[in-house]
């Protein structure tokens, strides 16, 4: 398809309940130059039928079905690997976006070459689409220095909605994308924070759906969470907190902010690790991962 500037990756597994509503919201965008890439992770419900019907009606939709369930991380990453657009965003199969979402985010990226990610404010809705609350993500990072963005990143809200923002594809390719362990979306946002500026549009254009259809709850083990992300991998005896710490170290080495900035990024990481270990923030990451699974993230 000609003139594709934006790619939307929609990974899905057994999403028949909300999938049509989500695709309708995407297809109703005022900004039309996009492709919708759907990766069906071997669904066993009506997901395939729904996707094939929509794809037959709109040439912007590209539908791919995995022969087996690859795990959530690999399926998310596959949608990006199949994309062709200058800008990219992931879409959860059960969330909604306002009609002007792409138009406004594209405008920010087009007019600000140093901004690599743009996302709007979020409204949390229930299973029926009713308003529950506004949510502040706190990922507005307009600072020039990588270490300053990295420092502020550690105060991001628990739900990590900016991972569903509009991202420059050439920057996203420099990262390891969604890794194969719980809360790796947070790792990706930390890496992006060092790579460039992010901007939050104050308009609330994203609708995060909270629903009870998923069975994972507070009693879920780390091993079960890991199996959901990637059934072929293991945590190797590490907690999510420990794994994130070591992965942040690797992210700094990958990004290589340069000179004093590299040292300052290491400083910000160790400072956060020490202080938050005392106040319990790191220990909340496992509950955070469970909450996102229970709410349908990364299916």
What local confidence, expressed as pLDDT, does residue 230 receive? Answer: 54
Three-state DSSP class for residue 201:
strand
Q: Which CATH number fits domain 6-214+290-294: 3.30.2130.30, 3.40.50.1370, 3.40.50.720, 3.90.550.10?
A: 3.90.550.10
CB 144 within 8 A of CB 225: no
CA gyration radius for the chain? 18
pTM of the model: 0.88
Contacts of 62 (CB under 8 A, 6+ apart): 35, 36, 37, 38, 55, 82
Query: Cα dist. 92→9, 185, 202, 273 in Å?
Result: 9, 13, 21, 30
Q: What percent of the chain is predicted at pLDDT more than 90?
A: 73
The DSSP-derived string for 97-113 is: E-TTHHHHHHHHHHH-T
Quick one: pLDDT at residue 237? 60
Enumerate the β-bridge partners of residue 44: none
Element (H, E) at 151: helix 146-153
Q: Lowest-pLDDT range, 88-92, 141-145, 243-247?
A: 243-247
CA of residue 13 relative to chain centroid, distance: 16
The answer to whether residue 185 scores a pLDDT higher than 70 is yes
Average pLDDT in the 281-290 region? 51
Report residue 83 as tokens. 């994309």
Instruction: Count CB atoms within 10 A of the CB of residue 236.
Output: 9
Q: Which residues contact 291 (CB under 8 A, 6 or more apart)?
A: 158, 159
Per the CB < 8 A criterion, the answer to whether 182 and 286 are in contact is yes
- Measured CA to CA, the distance from residue 123 to residue 135 in angstroms comes to 6
Cα 246–249–250 angle (5° rounding)? 90
Sign, Cα dihedral of 117, 120, 123, 128: negative
Confidence at residue 263, expressed as pLDDT on a 0 to 100 scale: 97
pLDDT, tens only, 129-162: 999 999 989 999 999 999 999 999 998 887 889 9
């Amino acid at each position: 398809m000609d003139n594709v500037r934006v790619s939307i990756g929609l990974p899905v597994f057994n999403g028949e309940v909300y999938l049509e509503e989500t695709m309708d919201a995407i297809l109703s965008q005022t900004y039309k130059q996009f492709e919708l890439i759907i990766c069906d992770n071997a669904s066993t419900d009506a997901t395939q039928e729904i996707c094939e019907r929509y794809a037959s009606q709109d040439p912007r939709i590209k539908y791919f079905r995995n022969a087996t369930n690859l795990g959530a991380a690999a399926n998310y990453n596959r949608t990006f690997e199949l994309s062709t657009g200058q800008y990219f965003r992931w879409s959860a199969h059960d969330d909604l976006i306002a009609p002007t979402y792409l138009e406004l985010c594209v405008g920010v990226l087009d007019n600000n070459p140093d901004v690599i990610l743009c996302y709007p404010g979020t409204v949390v809705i229930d299973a029926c689409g009713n308003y529950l609350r506004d949510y502040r993500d706190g990922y507005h990072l307009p600072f020039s220095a990588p270490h300053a963005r990295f420092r502020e990143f550690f105060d991001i809200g628990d739900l990590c909605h900016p991972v569903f923002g509009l991202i420059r594809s050439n920057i996203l390719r420099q990262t390891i994308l969604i890794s194969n362990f719980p809360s790796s979306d947070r790792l990706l946002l930390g890496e992006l924070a060092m790579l460039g500026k992010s901007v939050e549009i104050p308009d609330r254009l994203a609708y995060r759906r909270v629903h009870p259809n998923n069975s994972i709850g507070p009693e879920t083990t780390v091993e079960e969470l890991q199996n959901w992300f990637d059934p072929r991998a293991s945590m190797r005896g590490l907690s999510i907190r420990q794994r994130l710490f070591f992965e942040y170290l690797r992210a700094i080495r990958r990004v290589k902010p340069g000179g004093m900035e590299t040292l300052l990024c290491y400083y910000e990481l160790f400072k956060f690790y020490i202080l938050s270990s005392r106040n319990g923030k790191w220990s909340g990451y496992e509950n955070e991962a469970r909450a996102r699974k229970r709410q349908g993230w990364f299916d």
